[in-house]
Chain A
Amino acid sequence: MAVKFENGVQIPAEEYFAPGHRACIGCGEALAVRLVCKALGRDVIIVTATGCIEIVSSPLPWTSWRVPWIHTLFENVGAVVSGVESAYKAMLRKGKKKLEPGRRIKVVGFAGDGGTADIGLQALSGAMERGHDFLYVCFDNEAYMNTGIQRSGATPYGAWTTTAPPGAKSIGQRTWKKNIPEIAVAHNIPYVATACPSYPYDLIRKVRKAVETQGPSYIHILCPCCTGWRFEPKLTIKLGRLAVETGFFPLYEVENGVYKLNIDIDVEKLKPVREYLMLQGRFRHLPESEIEKIQERVILEYKKLKRKVEMTQKIGEEYER
């Protein structure tokens, strides 16, 4: 059963991530997980890293997972996924497991930005390089929220966190956000995409596409976090939209190396990043000059992305032929 439509994308009514979990009110990540699970359906095995989603969904003896789910450690999702995928491959081949014709089990890794950009990057890279048939979803709330808002490699420049606090000698996070989707693209995997739960149809379409892809696929989902970003829970969806409309977090996909912007905005028509930043307590300390600096960087990155779209289009046409 499916209940909603937009451009042919259906949102299934079934809930595989059950209500009753312990995520914060207004949690963008819980919403993203719910949508991803709807898109994945029941023929999946989900491997989750330590982090917010694991903690809110699985305090013994309760569980929110209506699909097979395993958590072991923080940094090893890529490796556990490799083992699960290989086990199914071997056991199906050897007749130790059986599936109805046409049925396929997708192995999916879930991790936060810390579990992906920092401590889990090696295991993810290994799994992508080896070409396992899996989907990896990074739920990016831009800091270690589960342990109390510590900075990660995915924290944006200028943001306040508990380990990169602004002060007389600091503006907060001193580094620019690590571009993990680009790292995934560099592995030459068939499908990479960014998504945001503020755009549910786009998100679901991308997950479906990833599920149908043979080989590794990677989806990077920006998940506004009211607790860590310091905003009112009612603004979660709005912030996701502003991240996209300002060009701060563009929605794009890379299919066999070919880039495509899914929400394609003219650079001149991007909303000012100020609108996005000023709704969040974590950026409120920034002086005008720093906001300018961020604005310039966002425009530069957006232009680069647009050029990648142009540059790869031709390759895409050749590929089609």
Chain B
Amino acid sequence: MPRRVALEGSHAVSEAVRMADVDVIAAYPITPQTHIVERLAEMVANGELDAEFICVESEHSAMSAVVGAAACGARVFTCTAGQGLELMHEVLFVPSAMRLPVVAVIANRALSAPLNVWGDHSDVMAIRDCGWIQMFAENAQQAFDLTLCAYKVAERPDVLLPAMVHIDGFHVSHVVEPVLLPEEETVREFLPPSEYPFPLDPDRPVSMGCYGPPYIYTEVKKAQEVAIENSYEKVLETFKEFKDVFGREYRPVETYRVEDADMLLLMMGSYAETAMLAIDALRERGDNVGLVRLRLWRPFPAEELRNVLRGVKAVCVFERAISFGMGGPLCAEVRAALYHLPEGERPKVVSFVGGLGGRDVSVEEFEAMLRRAKERVSSDELEGFEFVGLRE
């Protein structure tokens, strides 16, 4: 029987990693990721988890160490945030191209300067194209569930890609919530020990990470693109298997009260839980609004997104990052996905940016944003983006 316990989002992740029976953890401390690794260090120290815990001297080395360990066939884990993710940047592109099923959890954090340890999605956007499967969790339960899903899908012999679970720094990592923890047995059945097909092994020598001159680099990249495109179906299968075992259902694109809506709010991460309250309040007052939450960020679920947004009058994209000089990066991708819908089925899209560097966005602010979105749509102010909660 699953147990219902109060757990911090960070500790929910630690529990998932423990139940996944990882072999090697490498991590470097950074707020707001620390609680995850502190708990894991305790678990290793107490013998609750039989793993090597490498206290590396940087995030660059954290990712490098788990890449080395995964190349030997070990199940690995690392986690970081903000600046740490950027220091990992160079290494992130290695496991995706070398097809190593590394799993990482990121407690999303703003980027310096100015120094800011609080949450937003600047760190995610800067590593968008690293070739990993990427998912967003909104709360502690999802953080637990999606960490297990990340291992399940990453290690599939027909996937073999690294996977990343994003949890909002502080809003998920440091909030204590009720979490349903399954029996360890159940998790072990869902996630049996991994079998990496070509590990570094003196009995079967392989060369990994050979260099790719121009005559072969393009073909290697094509193969990598095919791999991540194909992983979409496997993510769906993984979510289905997860539902069959644990009962909770995930989709690449999830919706809330979207029936008959003429305006849909779209976002990623934990602020969706606040936004739901705003949707409820507006629905109460007769506004036909709904919420779309992007669960899967890579591979980008364009088809499913089109199916959800097709025919809706307008979409209001809210995001916690800026691509300086361009606007909201999530909004740009949503617009691109909708571009080929025929006129009449293609919603108008307006862009809002907020929640930067840990700034809260209240229910009232979401309501105000949706009202403002309506104005912008009716007056055709579709270009650019507006800040939410900006003090002038």
**Contacts from A to B (Cβ < 8 Å):** 42-45, 47, 54-55, 58-63, 65-73, 75-76, 78-84, 86-91, 93-94, 96-97, 105, 122-123, 125-126, 129-130
Contact = CB atoms under 8 A, between A and B. Distances in A.
B68 A82 contact: yes
B66 interface: yes
B202 A42 contact: yes
A86 B65 contact: yes
B57 A72 contact: no
- The range of chain B's interface size is 35 or more
Contact of A70 (B51, B55, B208): B208
The A interface, classified by DSSP as helix, strand, loop or mixed, is mixed
Contacts of B98: 72
A26 to B, nearest CB: 23
A150 to B, nearest CB: 19
A55 to B, nearest CB: 6
B56 A126 contact: yes
B57 A89 contact: no
A69 B208 contact: yes
Contacts of A63: 207, 210
6 contacts: A70-B207, A72-B94, A79-B56, A79-B60, A87-B76, A126-B58
Given A70-B209, A73-B91, 11 more contacts: A44-B202, A54-B211, A59-B211, A66-B205, A80-B68, A83-B64, A83-B68, A84-B68, A84-B200, A90-B50, A96-B23
A76 B61 contact: yes
B212 interface: yes
B67 interface: yes
A82 to B, nearest CB: 5
Given A73-B94, A86-B24, A89-B52, A60 B213 contact: yes
Contacts of B94: 72-73
Main secondary structure of the interface of B (DSSP, over half): mixed
A94 B23 contact: yes
A130 B65 contact: no
The 8 closest A-B CB pairs, nearest first, are: A83-B68, A126-B57, A79-B61, A83-B65, A79-B64, A87-B74, A76-B64, A80-B68
Contacts, number: 164
Contacts of B216: 60-61
A123 B60 contact: yes
Contacts of B74: 86-87, 90-91, 96
Nearest to A70: B208
A89 B54 CA distance: 12
Contact of A71 (B52, B60, B210): B210
Given A66-B205, A73-B91, A126-B57, A80 B64 contact: yes
B72 interface: yes
Contacts of A90: 23-24, 50-52, 74
A58 B24 contact: no
A80 B52 CA distance: 14
B382 interface: no
Interface string B65-81: 11111111110100000
B384 interface: no
Given A58-B207, A65-B207, A70-B71, A82 B51 contact: no
B206 A68 contact: yes
Interface of B: 23-24, 26, 50-52, 54-58, 60-62, 64-74, 76, 90-91, 94, 98, 193, 200-202, 204-213, 216, 220
Given A79-B61, A82-B56, A105-B202, A60 B71 contact: no
B213 A45 contact: no
A60 B220 CA distance: 10
Nearest to B65: A83
A122 B213 CA distance: 29
A89 B212 CA distance: 32
Residue in A66, A86, A91, A122 whose Cβ sees the most chain B Cβ within 10 Å: A86
A75 B64 CA distance: 10
A86 B211 contact: no
Contacts of A78: 61
A70 B72 CA distance: 10
Contacts of A130: 54-55
A58 B65 contact: no
A63 B193 CA distance: 31
Contact of B211 (A58, A87, A96): A58
A70 B98 CA distance: 10
Contacts of A71: 208-211
Contacts of B68: 47, 70, 72, 79-84, 87
Nearest to A64: B207
Nearest to B208: A70
A86 B50 CA distance: 12
Contacts of A65: 205, 207
A45 to B, nearest CB: 5
Contacts of A129: 57
A269 B249 CA distance: 80
Contact of B64 (A60, A94, A96, A123): A123
A207 B204 CA distance: 23
A75 B68 CA distance: 14
A75 B24 contact: no
A45 B72 contact: yes
Contacts of A123: 57-58, 60-61, 64
Contacts of A66: 205
A85 B15 CA distance: 25
B293 to A, nearest CB: 35
Contact of B24 (A45, A67, A81, A83): A83
Contact of B65 (A60, A61, A80): A80
